[in-house]
Amino acid sequence: MEEARIRTPLGTATLRGDESGVCSISVSDGHLEQEVVPEVLAQACIQLQEYFRGERQRFDFPIRPEGTPFQQRVWQELRKVPYGHTLSYLELTKKLGDVKAIRAVASANGRNPLWIVIPCHRIIGSDGSMTGYAGGIHRKKWLLNHESPTPQQSLFGSGTDQAVGKHTF
Protein backbone atom coordinates (compact mmCIF):
# COMPACT_ATOMS: atom_id res chain seq x y z
CA MET A 1 0.00 0.00 0.00
CA GLU A 2 1.41 3.36 -1.08
CA GLU A 3 0.78 6.68 0.66
CA ALA A 4 0.94 10.33 -0.39
CA ARG A 5 0.29 13.56 1.50
CA ILE A 6 -0.58 16.82 -0.23
CA ARG A 7 -1.53 20.25 1.03
CA THR A 8 -5.08 21.45 0.41
CA PRO A 9 -6.91 24.58 1.54
CA LEU A 10 -8.49 22.43 4.26
CA GLY A 11 -5.40 20.73 5.65
CA THR A 12 -3.24 17.81 4.65
CA ALA A 13 -4.89 15.16 2.50
CA THR A 14 -3.50 11.66 2.98
CA LEU A 15 -4.11 9.27 0.09
CA ARG A 16 -3.58 5.50 0.29
CA GLY A 17 -3.82 2.98 -2.49
CA ASP A 18 -2.08 0.67 -4.90
CA GLU A 19 -2.17 -0.26 -8.58
CA SER A 20 -5.81 -1.39 -8.27
CA GLY A 21 -7.02 2.00 -7.00
CA VAL A 22 -7.18 4.53 -4.21
CA CYS A 23 -8.74 3.02 -1.09
CA SER A 24 -8.73 6.02 1.23
CA ILE A 25 -8.40 9.79 1.28
CA SER A 26 -8.59 11.63 4.57
CA VAL A 27 -7.83 15.14 5.76
CA SER A 28 -6.17 16.44 8.89
CA ASP A 29 -4.78 19.67 10.21
CA GLY A 30 -1.16 20.42 9.48
CA HIS A 31 1.07 20.58 6.45
CA LEU A 32 2.96 17.31 6.04
CA GLU A 33 3.11 17.17 2.25
CA GLN A 34 5.50 14.97 0.26
CA GLU A 35 7.55 16.21 -2.64
CA VAL A 36 7.60 12.84 -4.37
CA VAL A 37 4.26 11.11 -4.82
CA PRO A 38 4.10 7.38 -5.66
CA GLU A 39 3.13 6.85 -9.30
CA VAL A 40 0.00 4.87 -8.36
CA LEU A 41 -1.34 7.95 -6.52
CA ALA A 42 -0.13 10.70 -8.86
CA GLN A 43 -3.36 10.98 -10.89
CA ALA A 44 -5.47 11.19 -7.74
CA CYS A 45 -3.22 13.94 -6.34
CA ILE A 46 -3.40 15.90 -9.60
CA GLN A 47 -7.19 15.59 -9.76
CA LEU A 48 -7.62 16.71 -6.14
CA GLN A 49 -5.48 19.79 -6.85
CA GLU A 50 -7.59 20.51 -9.94
CA TYR A 51 -10.74 20.23 -7.82
CA PHE A 52 -9.43 22.76 -5.30
CA ARG A 53 -8.43 25.15 -8.10
CA GLY A 54 -12.00 24.95 -9.44
CA GLU A 55 -10.92 23.11 -12.59
CA ARG A 56 -12.54 19.72 -11.90
CA GLN A 57 -16.00 18.62 -10.82
CA ARG A 58 -15.72 14.83 -11.24
CA PHE A 59 -12.99 12.35 -10.45
CA ASP A 60 -12.08 9.51 -12.78
CA PHE A 61 -9.07 7.83 -11.19
CA PRO A 62 -9.55 4.21 -10.04
CA ILE A 63 -10.98 3.79 -6.55
CA ARG A 64 -11.58 0.78 -4.35
CA PRO A 65 -13.25 1.79 -1.11
CA GLU A 66 -13.53 -1.05 1.38
CA GLY A 67 -16.85 -1.53 3.14
CA THR A 68 -19.89 -3.73 3.56
CA PRO A 69 -22.23 -4.32 0.62
CA PHE A 70 -24.70 -1.84 2.19
CA GLN A 71 -21.99 0.82 2.60
CA GLN A 72 -20.94 0.26 -1.02
CA ARG A 73 -24.55 0.87 -2.14
CA VAL A 74 -24.73 4.10 -0.15
CA TRP A 75 -21.36 5.29 -1.50
CA GLN A 76 -22.46 4.51 -5.07
CA GLU A 77 -25.57 6.63 -4.55
CA LEU A 78 -23.47 9.45 -3.04
CA ARG A 79 -21.37 9.55 -6.20
CA LYS A 80 -24.53 10.40 -8.16
CA VAL A 81 -25.08 13.68 -6.27
CA PRO A 82 -23.84 16.30 -8.74
CA TYR A 83 -21.22 18.91 -8.04
CA GLY A 84 -22.84 22.04 -6.63
CA HIS A 85 -25.95 20.20 -5.39
CA THR A 86 -27.02 18.81 -2.05
CA LEU A 87 -29.35 16.05 -0.97
CA SER A 88 -30.93 15.42 2.43
CA TYR A 89 -30.39 12.19 4.33
CA LEU A 90 -34.11 11.48 3.87
CA GLU A 91 -33.90 11.99 0.09
CA LEU A 92 -30.86 9.71 0.00
CA THR A 93 -32.68 6.95 1.88
CA LYS A 94 -35.61 7.25 -0.54
CA LYS A 95 -33.24 6.82 -3.48
CA LEU A 96 -31.91 3.69 -1.78
CA GLY A 97 -35.47 2.41 -1.38
CA ASP A 98 -35.85 2.34 2.42
CA VAL A 99 -36.70 5.48 4.39
CA LYS A 100 -36.48 3.49 7.63
CA ALA A 101 -32.75 2.97 7.03
CA ILE A 102 -31.88 6.62 7.67
CA ARG A 103 -29.56 5.86 10.61
CA ALA A 104 -27.76 3.11 8.71
CA VAL A 105 -27.39 5.46 5.72
CA ALA A 106 -26.01 8.20 7.97
CA SER A 107 -23.60 5.70 9.50
CA ALA A 108 -22.39 4.55 6.06
CA ASN A 109 -22.01 8.19 5.03
CA GLY A 110 -19.85 8.80 8.10
CA ARG A 111 -17.63 5.82 7.24
CA ASN A 112 -16.90 7.07 3.74
CA PRO A 113 -13.19 6.35 3.15
CA LEU A 114 -12.74 8.66 0.15
CA TRP A 115 -12.98 12.30 1.22
CA ILE A 116 -14.41 14.54 -1.52
CA VAL A 117 -14.30 11.80 -4.21
CA ILE A 118 -17.35 10.14 -2.64
CA PRO A 119 -19.07 13.44 -1.86
CA CYS A 120 -20.61 12.80 1.55
CA HIS A 121 -20.24 16.54 2.23
CA ARG A 122 -23.19 17.09 -0.14
CA ILE A 123 -25.60 15.36 2.26
CA ILE A 124 -27.39 17.74 4.62
CA GLY A 125 -30.29 17.70 7.07
CA SER A 126 -33.86 17.86 5.72
CA ASP A 127 -34.09 21.40 7.10
CA GLY A 128 -30.91 22.45 5.28
CA SER A 129 -28.74 22.17 8.37
CA MET A 130 -25.08 21.20 8.27
CA THR A 131 -25.34 17.90 10.06
CA GLY A 132 -22.33 15.89 11.22
CA TYR A 133 -19.28 15.57 9.02
CA ALA A 134 -16.24 13.45 9.86
CA GLY A 135 -13.88 16.15 8.53
CA GLY A 136 -15.51 18.84 10.66
CA ILE A 137 -18.45 21.13 9.90
CA HIS A 138 -16.07 23.98 8.92
CA ARG A 139 -14.69 21.79 6.12
CA LYS A 140 -18.16 20.75 4.99
CA LYS A 141 -19.23 24.40 4.77
CA TRP A 142 -16.05 25.27 2.86
CA LEU A 143 -16.59 22.44 0.36
CA LEU A 144 -20.23 23.33 -0.26
CA ASN A 145 -19.31 26.99 -0.70
CA HIS A 146 -16.46 26.00 -3.05
CA GLU A 147 -18.89 24.00 -5.20
CA SER A 148 -21.62 26.64 -5.15
CA PRO A 149 -22.20 28.54 -8.41
CA THR A 150 -22.49 31.69 -6.27
CA PRO A 151 -20.10 31.27 -3.32
CA GLN A 152 -21.04 33.04 -0.12
CA GLN A 153 -18.75 35.89 0.88
CA SER A 154 -17.44 35.69 4.42
CA LEU A 155 -16.93 38.78 6.54
CA PHE A 156 -14.40 36.92 8.63
CA GLY A 157 -11.42 34.92 7.41
CA SER A 158 -11.74 31.23 8.11
CA GLY A 159 -8.07 30.41 7.79
CA THR A 160 -8.93 28.01 4.95
CA ASP A 161 -9.04 30.49 2.08
CA GLN A 162 -5.43 30.02 1.01
CA ALA A 163 -4.48 28.94 -2.49
CA VAL A 164 -3.58 25.35 -3.28
CA GLY A 165 0.17 24.92 -3.60
CA LYS A 166 1.97 23.32 -6.52
CA HIS A 167 3.62 19.97 -5.98
CA THR A 168 6.43 18.10 -7.68
CA PHE A 169 5.52 14.57 -8.74
Q: Which residues are known to be catalytic?
A: 120
How many whole angstroms separate alpha carbon 1 and alpha carbon 17? 5
- Report the amino acid identity of residue 97: G
DSSP one-letter code for 92: H
The answer to whether the CB of 12 falls within 8 A of the CB of 19 is no
Q: Kindly give, in sequence order, each residue whose CB lies less than 8 Å from that of residue 129, ignoring residues fewer than 6 positions away.
A: none
- b/e per residue, 71-93, with b = 16+ CB within 10 A? beebbebbeebeeeebbbbeebb
- Report the amino acid identity of residue 14: T
The answer to whether the CB of 148 falls within 8 A of the CB of 59 is no
How many whole angstroms separate alpha carbon 13 and alpha carbon 79? 19
Cα–Cα–Cα angle for 112, 122, 58, nearest 5°? Answer: 80
The answer to whether the CB of 22 falls within 8 A of the CB of 15 is yes
